[in-house]
Amino acid sequence: MPKIHPTAAVDPRARIAEDVEIGPGCVVEGDVEIGTGTILRPHAVIRRYTSLGEGNFVDSGAVLGGDPQDLKFDPATVAYLRIGDGNTFREGVTISRASKKGQATVVGSKTYWMATSHAGHDARIDDGAILVNGALVAGHAHVGPRAFLSGHVVVHQFTWIGEGVMSQGHAGTSTHMPPFVLFAGINRVAGLNIVGLRRTPEVTPEDRRQIQEAFRLTYRAGFSAAEALARMDQCSDWGAPASRYREFIRRVVAAEKPYNRGLGRLRKGGSDD
């Protein structure tokens, strides 16, 4: 049976795996599903329409699946928060469920959320992403795999953060940030995340060279995003990482309102070495 502290308030309609641990003062509402090996520390709150996969850790004061912070939202709306496996949510993390009927805010697997980080309604946070203390991801934003958002970073609504992106602390963006870049300040690309690329086993030296060429076309050759994309399309020999960079640029070029936010601009002195 699940190990449920007697002071926890657990709705009998919640579906809880046999070995889940639920600590003192926790609240688990109805229409919740919690997978095997998950631990809720004291005073964690899992709201209605939330599902957690296996092996998640939810620390004290976290609230998962709260109503969207949207003045137009009707609390009777059946919308979801869906969370994968092996995630860590530290103290005070908040994630809102989606705002439209049948839709979901989605968190992948093996993400790490430090204290007081937040993701808004309809956001998507992919596998392996890390949100440092106070990082804020607005509604409808998308944070790619293994992205690293430093302390108190702000990601505007309808904004995309590519895979492997890393940010400076206190940075903010209302523009899309391509895969593998560093961003700093407001809407500024500082260069490529070369250290991160070198630490990624599946990215080869040839992949890094191709990504550097994609970055050069985007930011150093004087092209518009559409022109840079046309030249990238001539590179038929690119491997998967550079091809994913190219497809991100294609998505940005084709984006329609409210996602037509353009790319972050290169900061003076930015480096791709």
Distance CA 227, CA 85 (A): 40
The CA-to-CA distance between both ends of the chain, in Å, stands at 55
Closest CA to 188 of 258, 270, 120: 270
**The token pair that represents 78 in the structure block:** 């059946």
154 beta partners: 136, 172
Known catalytic residue at 122: yes
Distance CA 60, CA 40 (A): 8
Q: Which residue has the tokens 């109805």?
A: 30
Listing from the earlier edge strand, what are the strands of the sheet with 160-161?
15-16, 33-34, 50-52, 80-83, 104-107, 124-125, 142-143, 160-161
Known catalytic residue at 43: no
Closest CA to 80 of 61, 59, 100, 62: 100
Closest CA to 88 of 109, 74, 103, 73: 109
Known catalytic residue at 121: yes
Of 43, 53, 92, 121, the active-site residue reads 121
46 beta partners: 28, 64
Of 139, 164, 196, 270, the active-site residue reads 139
Determine how many CB atoms are found less than 10 A away from the CB of residue 164. 26
Of 59, 66, 122, 134, the active-site residue reads 122
Active site residues: 121-122, 139
